[in-house]
Chains A and B, each alone.
Chain A
């Protein structure tokens, strides 16, 4: 018994020494490897005089990802693309932290802010709004940026929002023209649809733009073909969830049964069910490509069910993160006097857009690097999407992309008595009453 005790006490002592030696050894090792940025020691030194942080401009881009994080081939990966481009161009290092749950937002932001190593801290996702507000007040000398969050009144926070209604209008126009083309070819379609996530005001922007775009597309189709067409029915469904593919599938099947040819995904991960339902519907009829089609959202999702996804309404989060870094550097070097505020990125700024074949290439590469597909598969997907695009007349694609210029240069374009400028005004303050009126005016439902 006594011998056992002695052996154990000895083991404990050895273990403690081993750990101490290990930690002591790794401390200095860190300092040497980190000289490129800042050693922990100099990090605390700068705390004393905040002005020196600005002088030592060679800092880092710090990115906090939302739940889901890197590898989603969508929102978060787009944020990474932009940050990485900025880090290469401006010679800054890139530091990334992911969030496992909502509890991680504050500690992630605070840990980065306390380190004093970040030129700018970018929070990717509107769920972090409250946390960014709090931490921005605690660290007034630290610059922050938030994607999709609205924090207009802090000098050290840049809010980056997107004109989703603009991209959605292009998607709507493409959907309507393609649908009428297939109807004229003798196919039995009557409607276009949209399946949405939770009913929250930001989604009204997608709705308004999409409906307007559909009516606009019909007008263009009539002008091009020189004949009147039967207006499409427009269907919309709120599933109440952003992460329930089963609900997305169910809602899509109901819309397909009502004769929908194109269904727009505004539902996050719920949208994966939309793609599945559309592809299944097609496969059942022995087709290898649509119609029916889905339209992707946020990133270029055309590759997920190749042939059944007409195009994607891309929200260029990468442009957002890149712009945040650029503005932060301009502010630190004194080029601009004001940093904080709201930056809205639309078609003009390249913040939103309709996916093209070149975009698909970029994303296939990303998927390849992430190990989700092989190069052979990537080639096959590319060919399939190209073939699908070729079955629809070129002029339809051209008109859809051309709408971008029209919206930017002439906001007075009007369909069904609704001017585009009216949609833009609504998008500044999306609200339930406003969307009801727009639905009525554009004969939705």
Chain B
């Protein structure tokens, strides 16, 4: 029985190119991880820390411990969603780095709900949760829509527009947090989300809230959309080649719009989920310090996960584990935070290298193919 099962698996592997590709990518990641860990170990050793002890506490406390694992998953939640923002964009041929600002807008949505609930007690309930998530998703998508329209109607490159919009969102939310929506009892925070409208914790005494389920749900939905629905097919097709897509009757601009808005929803949910689901503050803190960089960390997750929604789940959990495990590494292995972050940076870079190489390879391949086609056309016209 087991033999045949094994055989059929190997058989499938040989036959199914996508399965083959997945195993290939996974193998690359493992090799990259080993390289990253080794370089990190050398850095630790040279700096006078024990690499064995450091890695032991890093991974023991983040993956092999119940509380640590919940902490890991809670840190994986926002970066999985902002990773989707980048990945969906990349599938549509975009370089969308606007998740950061869209996440701020999502957090603002949840804070608006908190403000509304002060006046409408009815919202201190699961209804409020829903309203907060919808507001967050809408505001995130709204900001993304600006970049989408600039790109589609005015040809403004999304890197430029999203960088600028990130800053606009940052200062807008900062302004509202510190001047309008601050909590009178503690003006360093915004009005907290009322208890009834918070996303429930999945386990008491941890930081893991239902926002994790939202992130996983959205990831699976994105996968289904991209590979099993027409809109997703069109989106990928126009990402691979806008001209060919248009020739096939697909409107690439519509795909760009869809990718931006969907990405905005993901980042918006990430921001709303952080504010509505993370104890103990349930608010935006001064300088947006509890949100900063979550959008950019998502790019890392997308690169490690090869822009594939399902590949990004383990990638996000790994990034979450590095974050969660950094505490025990500091406290019990005596490695200062700065060194922890250097080592983690090295590991992350190593993991991202295969993804980057594939993107470059893909780019070169497309260029080469185009050149070959051009050459053939030239030949044909000469012959004619």
Contacts and interface: CB of A to CB of B under 8 A. Distances in A.
Q: Do A and B bind each other?
A: yes
Interface of A: 2, 4-5, 8-9, 11-12, 15-16, 18-19, 22-23, 25-27, 29-30, 33-34, 40, 62, 67, 69-70, 95-98, 100-108, 110-112, 114-115, 117, 127, 130-131, 133-134, 138, 198-200, 240-243
Given A29-B52, A67-B289, A243-B287, 4 more contacts: A95-B331, A102-B281, A112-B331, A198-B188
B343 to A, nearest CB: 14
A411 B147 CA distance: 64
B72 to A, nearest CB: 10
A4 B23 CA distance: 11
Contacts of A29: 50, 52-53, 56
A179 B280 CA distance: 47
B55 interface: yes
Interface in B74-114: 75
A30 B52 contact: yes
B331 A134 contact: no
A70 B287 contact: no
8 contacts: A8-B27, A12-B30, A19-B33, A30-B53, A34-B53, A103-B278, A111-B68, A198-B188
Contact of A111 (B34, B61, B280): B61
Contacts of B31: 11-12, 15
Given A8-B23, A103-B290, A106-B279, A26 B332 contact: no
A26 B23 contact: no
A26 B332 CA distance: 14
A12 B56 contact: no
Contacts of B67: 110-111, 114
Interface residues of B, number: 53
A100 B291 CA distance: 11
Interface string B34-60: 100100000000000011110111011
Interface of B: 13-14, 20, 23-24, 26-27, 30-31, 33-34, 37, 50-53, 55-57, 59-61, 65, 67-68, 71, 75, 178, 186-188, 205, 207, 274, 278-281, 285-287, 289-290, 292, 324, 327-328, 330-332, 334, 336-337
A247 B55 CA distance: 43
B302 to A, nearest CB: 21
Contact of A40 (B59, B60, B68, B178): B60
Given A15-B30, A33-B53, A96 B205 contact: no
Contacts of A18: 34
Contact of B330 (A12, A97, A138): A97
B188 A127 contact: yes
A131 B14 contact: no
A224 B30 CA distance: 79
A208 B26 CA distance: 64
Main secondary structure of the interface of A (DSSP, over half): helix
Which of B56, B188, B287, B334 has the most chain A CB atoms inside 10 A of its CB?
A: B56
A130 B289 contact: no
Contacts of B23: 5, 8-9
Contacts of B188: 127, 198, 200
Please name the 6 residue pairs, one residue from A and one from B, whose CB atoms are nearest each other, closest first: A26-B52, A130-B280, A98-B337, A102-B290, A95-B331, A12-B27
A2 B289 CA distance: 50
Nearest to B182: A198
A95 B26 CA distance: 37
A101 B207 contact: no
A177 B349 CA distance: 59
A87 B51 CA distance: 25
Nearest to B282: A130
Contact of A12 (B13, B26, B65, B75): B26
B331 A5 contact: no
* Candidate in A34, A95, A104, A107 with the most chain B CB atoms within 10 angstroms: A107
A111 B52 contact: no
Given A11-B31, A18-B34, A19-B34, A95 B53 contact: no
Nearest to A25: B52
Contacts of B57: 30
A5 B13 contact: yes
B55 A23 contact: yes
Contacts of B13: 5
A194 to B, nearest CB: 19
B292 A23 contact: no
Contacts of B289: 67, 101-102
Contacts of B20: 5
Contacts of A33: 50, 53
A241 B53 CA distance: 41
A5 B292 CA distance: 41
